[in-house]
Amino acid sequence: MTLPGWTDKELLSYIDLHSRTERALLHIDHINRLLELAGRPRISGGGFYALHYEEAAPLIAEARRTNSGIVAPESRLPGSGPSVVERRRRRGMQAR
């Protein structure tokens, strides 16, 4: 499951950025999508889990490598506007 209006490519960027934060909490659905894209089995559970960069980086790299960097066609819903990642990129915001 990707976030509504996000492509898989945007989700990977989000995970890359968010995994570098102190808490690095990601929802299990997003972790499982990362695992699927990296060709790994899903994990069970619910809620939020810490996925720090040291663990996330190899999975992100594998997902990008095996999917040629273009993971999924545009899945944005009409009228949904730019994603959070795009808005931050436009404003030049950096990870905290």
Q: Any idea where the domains of the chain sit in the sequence?
A: 8-91
Contact (Cβ atoms closer than 8 angstroms) between residue 23 and residue 31: no
pTM here is 0.68
pLDDT (tens digit per residue) in 53-72: 999 999 999 999 988 645 44
List pLDDT tens digits, range 4-27: 678 898 999 999 999 999 999 999
Q: Smallest Cα–Cα separation from 71: which of 12, 1, 4?
A: 12
- Nearest-angstrom CA–CA distance, 24 and 5: 22
| Helix/strand/coil for 27 | strand
